[in-house]
Structure 1
Amino acid sequence: MKKAVIITFDQFTDIDVFLPWDLLNRVKLIDKEFQVKLLGTTYSHVSVSGIDLKTHGFIEEANEADFVFFASGPGTRDVIKDKTYLGRFQLNPEKQIIASMCSGALIIAALGHLKGLSATTYPTAFEALRNYEVEVIEDTHLVTHESIGTAAGCLAAVDLIAWAITKMYDKKISDAVTASVLPIGQGQACMYPQNNLANG
């Protein structure tokens, strides 16, 4: 049984949690045993826009997940300064897929998993990411290294999650998930007319 977790915190960017959440849950229509959980440091976290999001567990659960996804938002600047918070993660890139949206890359960097690598993030976090000895790629929305992926720009989550699904499963499942959310004429209507992932 495979499991994906989304790491949330106070002041997370809404779309950078909810879009990956939606995309990953579409995998469950193919693999019914696939689990997707929202993790945090408390029973709920409040987004930038004020949504109070209930979590399914605590961040330590990420240490045993197949895929660990770090959300973004102003809250990243607080958690990267919290050594106790960072110490609760014991991630292993050799056994896990680790990814981030926008400033979520700062958390991966603070955990030491981006040192000496290239990565991307939201422009407002470029300089902060460089402080972790990371080569910041400013002109692309997706940078991947083996089992570590970073993306920039909220809608880049589609490509980032597709990359992660391909690594967990295969490109066929990844393509089906992506096609199910593309605009009509670009995805499900022409490529997957019988796609059971469509829920419109």
Structure 2
Amino acid sequence: MKIAILAFDHFTDIDVFLPWDVLKRVNEFFPKHDWEVKIVGTAAHHTSFAGLTIPMMADLSYLEEADAVLVASGPGVQRLIKDDAYLNKLKHLLDPDRQLIGSMCSGAILLAEIGLLKNRKATTYATRLKQLANYDVEVVDEPFVQTGNLATAAGCLSAVTLAQWIIQTLAGVDIAAKCVASIQPNGAPLDLPRP
């Protein structure tokens, strides 16, 4: 399976690295499982909102071959929704009929901008709920919303639920449960929503 995490300049760090970590645990626990996770973008490197510059593992063309795509969030989304060339690429590379497509927080705005959330229920970070409502989207104030092959998550810790949804759909419930259990605090597991 090929999993892509879409990053860009001024992405929110935890919304890339938390799901990256959980998704990569499939390889740790099940090394024979055919599981590839790549962070992709338009440049060789992208810099997060907190100032961390990281290398990309593939360019946007990788999105087309991915079995699942996770769209990051961050202030950079506001620039990207005005970039027609970028949006046009996403429209042609993403296909919810054959891919799982999920977004973290304001990443939902990108999905809405290219029409993937039209007439669907979706969520986003609290400060972007009104903006998401400007697209023909039924906006709900929930941590995780999934309809078919599309899912949106809101609040950084919901990245765990988004990653769990991808793992359980593509690799199975048992594998997903083991990956999520491996990051829970001892003695006081987080009460996260389940996909």
Q: TM-score, normalised by structure 1?
A: 0.89
Alignment partner for residue 174 of structure 1, among 173, 176, 181?
176
Partner of 2:89: 88
Unpaired runs of 5+ residues, structure 1, are 188-200
Cα deviation digits, residues 100-135 of structure 1 (max 9, x gap): 110000111112110000100001111211111111
2:123 and 2:21 mapped to 1: Cα distance? Answer: 23
Partner of 1:19: 18
Alignment partner for residue 99 of structure 1, among 93, 98, 102?
102
Residues 4-153 of structure 1: pairs in structure 2 closer than 5 A: 4-29=3-28, 30-32=30-32, 33-89=34-90, 90=92, 91-138=94-141, 140-153=142-155
Runs of 4+ in structure 1 deviating by more than 6 angstroms, as ranges, are none
Partner of 2:192: none
1:61 and 1:83 mapped to 2: Cα distance? Answer: 20
How big is the alpha-carbon RMSD for the aligned residues of Structure 1 and Structure 2? 1.1
Partner of 1:198: none
Give the secondary structure class of the aligned counterpart of 1:115.
coil
User: Which amino acid letter does the alignment assign opposite residue 186 of structure 2?
Assistant: I
Cα deviation digits, residues 9-49 of structure 1 (max 9, x gap): 00000000000110111011215431000100100011011
Shift in Å, 1:60: 2.0
Give the secondary structure class of the aligned counterpart of 1:58.
coil
Unpaired runs of 5+ residues, structure 2, are 190-195
Cα deviation digits, residues 148-174 of structure 1 (max 9, x gap): 110000001111111111111210011
Give the secondary structure class of the aligned counterpart of 1:28.
helix
Structure of larger gyration radius: 1
2:178 and 2:170 mapped to 1: Cα distance? Answer: 14
1:152 and 1:164 mapped to 2: Cα distance? Answer: 16
